[in-house]
Copies of this chain bind each other. A is one copy, B any other.
Amino acid sequence: MSWNYRTPGIPEEYFITGNVPITKTEVRVISLSKLKLTEDLVVLDIGCGTGSVTVEMGLLCPNGLVYSIDSNEEAIELVNKNVERFQLNNVNIIKGEAPEALPTTAFDRIFIGGGSKNIVEIVDYVHKHLKTGGIVVANTILLESTYNLLKILSEKGFKDIECINVNISKAATVPGWMMKAQNPIYIISALK
């Protein structure tokens, strides 16, 4: 499988999926745009799930490096398969809990794929390991995670904190055009 377009936005059905969340295409392209990627960045995907953001980051940063972590066995299997499927050789996959299992690398960009019980420790890690001028982007679903993350980012002194809520419906032809809703997602971004 290849994606030779200049624009990100790989359809979900291009990925090998399982019982692990996948970042929906439209939310993924908005999240990637907030990350402001360039070809040679060193980036981290925390809670990579199926690996759709990891794959797009790998394609967008061909001269960079992507680190991806998930604690879930099936997620690690899927992200490995999807990285192989898109023939990427710039991805390091880590099985383990964030932040304990994360490397001491300095990152240009960090993506957090969802809320976590360790969010305080994760933001501590992000604050320590994100380079000055680096960007962190997170997707959250729960109001608890959304509010906590905004609060912690503010307290830590992150700048330009932005929070958007995205509601997408997609038409299914059944036989008329019926809009089917996806769940609302928050996309939070901030600058160190």
Contacts and interface: CB of A to CB of B under 8 A. Distances in A.
A7 interface: yes
Interface stretch (A34-42, A45-53, A68-76, A79-87): A34-42
A9 to B, nearest CB: 3
A116 interface: no
A166 B164 contact: no
B170 A6 contact: no
Contacts of A164: 26, 168-171
Q: How large is the interface on A (under 10, 10 to 19, 20 to 34, 35 or more residues)?
A: 20 to 34
Q: How many copies does the complex hold?
A: 2
A33 B59 CA distance: 14
A118 B62 CA distance: 43
Contacts of A35: 7
A88 B25 CA distance: 29
A-side binding surface: helix, strand, loop or mixed?
A: mixed
A35 B29 CA distance: 13
Contact of A29 (B30, B163, B177): B30
Given A164-B171, A171-B162, A34 B9 contact: yes
Contact of A163 (B5, B33, B60, B171): B171
B36 A5 contact: yes
Contact of A166 (B6, B8, B61, B168): B168
Interface in A15-39: 25-26, 29-30, 32-39
B150 A165 contact: no
Given A163-B170, A168-B164, A33 B25 contact: yes
Contacts of A26: 30, 33, 164, 166
